[in-house]
Amino acid sequence: MSRSARLYLLRSAWPEIDRTVWDAAHKSGTDPFEDCGPAAHYSQRTRLQLEYAYGKFLYFLSVRHTGLLARAPAERLNRQIIEEFVKWQPKSCGGITIAIYLYHLWLTLRYMCPGGNCSWLLSISKRIAAQAKPTPEKHHLVTSETLYALGIALMDDAITRNRSKDKTLADAVRYRAGLIIALLALIPLRRRTLAALRIGKHLVKSGDLWALDIPAEDVKTKRALEYPLSKELSRRIDLYLDRFRPRFRGSEKHAYIWASNHRRPMHDGSIFGEVRRRTCAALGFPVNLHRFRRAAATFWSSRDPVNIRGVKDLLGHASFATTEKHYIMSQSRLAGRALARAIDNAERRPRFSDSISEVGRASRRPK
């Protein structure tokens, strides 16, 4: 196995002792009187993240310290090994990413080896995270308003490119991308929730208007979400379902909204890549799906600060503290932008072309 091909061990390739301890830590059951593992409460996504981080560490040991794999998991770890593990990571792996790997490794060993003391590993993870230099971000240059305008522009372009009723696959792909971007600008769903949307179950119609009705089991925070959609967006969804979605092969075989041309629904990774490509082509830098959530929170805080706590429900957070800490842009930056708008007298709602020009100018300003 070449290092460039894979930098982690699949669980099926782990030593037997690791698989046994892992399964015991994550054991779960439906009987409330049955003992479960200490990590049984984790979601499937979190479990996969921990599995990946532990698999990376085991792969490192298989390359550099094969003899340690014969020992118990708690007996393989020391500061020197972790230092080698960190230096072994590719140069493209930044400090934040390494800190996350170490945190997940600590979390895994905490449950697999409850008698051990790996608190020093958590401390190293925190120090690396504190010393890491964050990558300059440009997502603050774009707002939900601009993203929505981009989505509308893509859909309009798909319509005007070919006036005939029989749309091409390229038209359908463009319209689908525009609808995804416009929907996310108004309702910034998490990527797994977005990919799982189905017609009739999550996307429901009442009269002429569509709405999203997402049950708790399909939401990360286990809180049901309900979003009414505007008349404009409902009209565009009708057009997508009637003229564009049928253009994808196999779309009649499933009820997922985002059909692909591979006779199956789009995977959340495919949606992620498509949105990044479209936003990068239009804005000069990519906007990933999670940045739509920050853009929405910041847009709300700048336009309607009195009712800012409502953004918690828009994003589906359990508490406003999470919203405020991770999603709302700093007040100093908001104040600076408000002053700039006042000076420029930018009162009118911008067209998409105007928004792009503004973003382009801002991105070229010297820091």
Domain boundaries, the chain: 11-131, 139-363
In degrees, rounded to 5, the angle at the alpha carbon of residue 185 between the alpha carbons of residues 180 and 187 is: 85
Q: Measured between alpha carbons, how far is 25 from 38 in angstroms, rounded to an integer?
A: 5
- What integer best gives the mean pLDDT of the chain? 80
Q: According to the model, what pLDDT value does residue 69 have?
A: 92
| Cβ neighbourhood burial of 347 (10 Å; 0-12, 13-18, 19+) | exposed
Q: According to the model, what pLDDT value does residue 356 have?
A: 57
The encoded tokens of residue 335 equal 């104040």
Q: According to the model, what pLDDT value does residue 249 have?
A: 94
Mean pLDDT throughout 323-349? 47
Q: According to the model, what pLDDT value does residue 191 have?
A: 86
pLDDT band at 329 (very low <50, low <70, confident <90, very high): very low
* Distances from the Cα of 325 to the Cα of 127, 276, 281, 321, 344, angstroms: 20, 25, 30, 6, 30
Helix (H) or strand (E) holding 203: strand 203-206
Q: According to the model, what pLDDT value does residue 285 have?
A: 85
Q: According to the model, what pLDDT value does residue 335 have?
A: 47
Fold of 139-363: hpI Integrase; Chain A (1.10.443)
Q: According to the model, what pLDDT value does residue 257 have?
A: 96
Instruction: Show the DSSP H helices in 136-266 as ranges.
Output: 144-161, 169-186, 191-195, 231-239
Q: According to the model, what pLDDT value does residue 299 have?
A: 61
Of 39-43, 125-129, 306-310, 350-354, the range with the lowest mean pLDDT is: 306-310
Amino acid identity, position 126: K
Residue pLDDT, tens place only, 54-81: 999 999 999 999 999 999 888 888 999 9
Q: Which residue has the higher pLDDT, 331 or 31?
A: 31
Q: According to the model, what pLDDT value does residue 313 have?
A: 53
Mean pLDDT throughout 329-335? 46
Of 48-52, 219-223, 358-362, the range with the lowest mean pLDDT is: 358-362
pLDDT band at 354 (very low <50, low <70, confident <90, very high): low
The two beta strands, 203-206 and 225-228, are unpaired
Q: According to the model, what pLDDT value does residue 150 have?
A: 94
Q: According to the model, what pLDDT value does residue 312 have?
A: 52
Residue pLDDT, tens place only, 181-207: 999 888 888 888 899 999 999 999 988
Distance of CA 329 to the CA centre of its chain: 18
Q: According to the model, what pLDDT value does residue 239 have?
A: 95
Q: According to the model, what pLDDT value does residue 333 have?
A: 46
Range from 154-163, 275-284, 352-361 that averages highest in pLDDT: 275-284
Which DSSP category does 259 fall into? B
Q: Which residue has the higher pLDDT, 116 or 49?
A: 49
Q: According to the model, what pLDDT value does residue 146 have?
A: 86
Q: According to the model, what pLDDT value does residue 106 have?
A: 93
